[in-house]
A and B are shown apart, each in its own frame.
Chain A
């Protein structure tokens, strides 16, 4: 149980375009989902926390107008990178938490974004 999927697993886009990444909890309802970014040889950096039905909470330094997060249902959250630039190229990972197990996060497989 507790499987989280992400789609796509990798994407290449041109500078100035927008990219949407989906995060789904497959066998549980995730009231909270987290979006992380990881640059090569660095640790995970939390970008935002999203709760179903409410606006995401962004970490300091993360532009909410550039990284749009929508958590419209208990099993789906999306991250849209708007007007992507080469410096947005990174590994984006989502995780999900179920209500009964507040202490544990289940990670998706990640999405590798390359902006050319």
Chain B
């Protein structure tokens, strides 16, 4: 079957760094996405990885290891506005997104 695992909830301090992990098992792989979703809003695109390695975009970075079925999202210099759910999703062989349950990130001052 298809499965995506990520932690349910994480807590971090403003200004710090946090890493959100995602492991996956899917039928086919056409890339891994990270989305941010604030409560009551639709997801917004953060990153897309299809090749192994680290993609850096400002305070956010995303890493992928296809051989390990593993990705992480790294958030630096945390701000209060980063409090949100972070969704990991994998595009399968038909480019259909398989979603993780999301990680709720709580930022404390």
Contact = CB atoms under 8 A, between A and B. Distances in A.
Binding partners A and B: yes
Interface in A67-116: 91, 93, 97, 102-110, 112
A50 to B, nearest CB: 13
B87 to A, nearest CB: 6
B96 A109 contact: no
Contact of A49 (B45, B96, B99, B100): B96
B67 to A, nearest CB: 20
Interface in B37-85: 40-45, 48, 50
A44 B43 contact: yes
Interface residues of A, number: 20
What is the size category of the interface that chain B forms with chain A?
10 to 19
B43 to A, nearest CB: 5
A43 interface: yes
B106 interface: no
B88 to A, nearest CB: 10
Contacts of A106: 45
A109 B42 contact: yes
**Secondary structure class of chain B's binding surface, majority of residues:** loop
A13 interface: no
Nearest to A59: B96
B87 A43 contact: yes
A19 interface: no
A69 to B, nearest CB: 16
Interface in B11-50: 30-31, 40-45, 48, 50
Given A42-B101, A43-B101, A107 B40 contact: no
A46 B42 contact: no
Contacts of A45: 99
A48 to B, nearest CB: 11
B97 interface: yes
**The 5 A-B residue pairs with the shortest CB-CB distance in the complex, in nearest-first order:** A110-B42, A107-B42, A43-B101, A102-B95, A43-B102
Interface of A: 34, 42-46, 49, 91, 93, 97, 102-110, 112
7 contacts: A43-B87, A93-B42, A97-B95, A102-B30, A109-B42, A110-B42, A112-B40
